[in-house]
Amino acid sequence: MLNDLARKYFGLFTIAGAVLGLVLPSIGILLQPYIIATLFVLMFFATAKLNKKRLVAAAKKPLLIVLGLALLYVGVPVLMYALALFAGLGEAAVFGVVFAALAPTIVSAPFFVAMAKGDVEFSYIVSVLATLLSPVLIPAMLLLMLGKAVSIPLVSISTTIVALIVFPALLVVALRALLPRVMAALERNESFLTAADFLVFIWAIIAVNSASILAFTPVIAVLLALAVVQDFGVYFLVRSVSRKFLPEKLSKALAISVGLKNTVLTAGIALLFSSGTALFSGMVVLVHAPMFAFIGWLKEKL
């Protein structure tokens, strides 16, 4: 019964999480250390949905994979760079915008693609490759576009890959081989478990950024508008164009994979320069919450 309710009203869980984040931020902030655990749960179920034959088939679409990577590391950064200059932002802010725009796909993108009934396998390949290539492509593009040399800490990338890609995959394989009944029970109750987990995830994300939401200065307003463009704008742009020449599932996977960037990673690195540089990454992380809720609400209607 709970599973059926969660499947039907998944959007309400996301809205409840957002409301709780604003109304009870103190509790949500206490949940912050467990955000990685909530992402682990989401990636566990997304990995469980992977189909070996479809994964191989997705890997045989090299041009589409290259297109996804090109949009991530060239298309989006150039667009955001142009918008940042048009908005008249200072040098540090422009650097922060471009830095965030160069972030790889968020590792949990396959979960959201699965939620939207998109091509999970294609999204999985793009997100993994984008993360693996980020230590090379982010510094190269920053040097090319802004003339600034930076290095990306491999420890951050490695931790993300192990925690949200390797471990979930190993757990799925282990449970199916050693505890098939447990795995079957988890999959039967997937809708409720992911809805409850997603509520906690949204609650924590909103709570952590509640101060930024309430402190609405002119600079914050401009950065927030640009963050909305990077999340929602890029998603709708890629979706509207790609659906004209790609199957629906691939179009959804491409749009979500390009629209959802791992700006938590770039925020952490940008803090090494200044808090002002990291501010835009934080704004995109903030906008991720309504974007996640948007996907959770509309799901396959996207």
Lowest-confidence pick of 17-21, 134-138, 227-231, 296-300: 296-300
Q: CATH no. for residue 254? A: 1.20.1530.20
Give backbone dihedrals phi and psi of 51, rounded to 5 degrees, phi first: -115, 125
DSSP states along the chain: -HHHHHHHTHHHHHHHHHHHHHHSHHHHHHTGGGHHHHHHHHHHHHHHT--HHHHHHHHT-HHHHHHHHHIIIIIHHHHHHHHHHHTT--HHHHHHHHHHHTPPBPTTHHHHHHHTT--HHHHHHHHHHHHHHHHHHHHHHHHHHH-------HHHHHHHHIIIIIHHHHHHHHHHHH-HHHHHHHHHTHHHHHHHHHHHHHHHHHHHTHHHHH---HHHHHHHHHHHIIIIIHHHHHHHHHTTTS-HHHHHHHHHHHH-B-HHHHHHHHTTT-HHHHHHHHHHHHHHHHHHHHHHHHGGG-
The answer to whether residue 17 scores a pLDDT higher than 90 is no
Tokens 């959007």, residue located: 11
Asked whether residue 279 is assigned to any structural domain, the reply reads yes
Q: For residue 69, what are the CA distances in angstroms to 104, 121, 247, 277?
A: 9, 15, 19, 24
> Torsion angle, CA of 51/52/53/59, rounded to 10 degrees?
100
pLDDT on residue 282: 64
289 pLDDT band (50/70/90 cuts)?
low
Would 130 be classed as within a structural domain? yes
* Residue of 302 and 228 predicted with greater confidence: 228
127 is a domain residue: yes
Indicate if the pLDDT at residue 285 is higher than 70: no
Q: Is the pLDDT of residue 37 over 90?
A: no
Total domains in the fold of the chain: 1
Q: Which amino acid is at 137?
A: L
pLDDT single digits (tens) 39-77: 788 878 878 877 778 778 888 889 999 999 999 999 999
pLDDT higher at 93 or 193: 193
Give the mean pLDDT of 163-172.
85
In this prediction, residue 49 carries a pLDDT of: 78
pLDDT at 215 over 80: no
Residue 25 lies in a domain: no
Q: Is residue 204 a part of any domain in this protein?
A: no
Read off the pLDDT band of 286 (50, 70, 90): low
Is residue 137 one of the residues assigned to a domain?
yes
What pLDDT does residue 1 have? 67
Query: Which of 107-121, 161-175, 213-227 has the lowest average pLDDT?
Result: 213-227
- What range defines the domain where residue 162 resides? 32-184+214-301
Give the count of alpha carbons within 13 A of 138, CB side only: 30
The span from the CA of 46 to the CA of 12, in Å, is: 21
pLDDT at 195: 83
Per-residue pLDDT, 231: 85
Please report whether residue 24 resides in a domain.
Answer: no
pLDDT for res 226: 87
User: pTM score, two decimals?
Assistant: 0.76
108 within domain boundaries:
yes
d(CA 102, CA 46): 24
Instruction: Output the six-digit token pair for 213.
Output: 């939401």
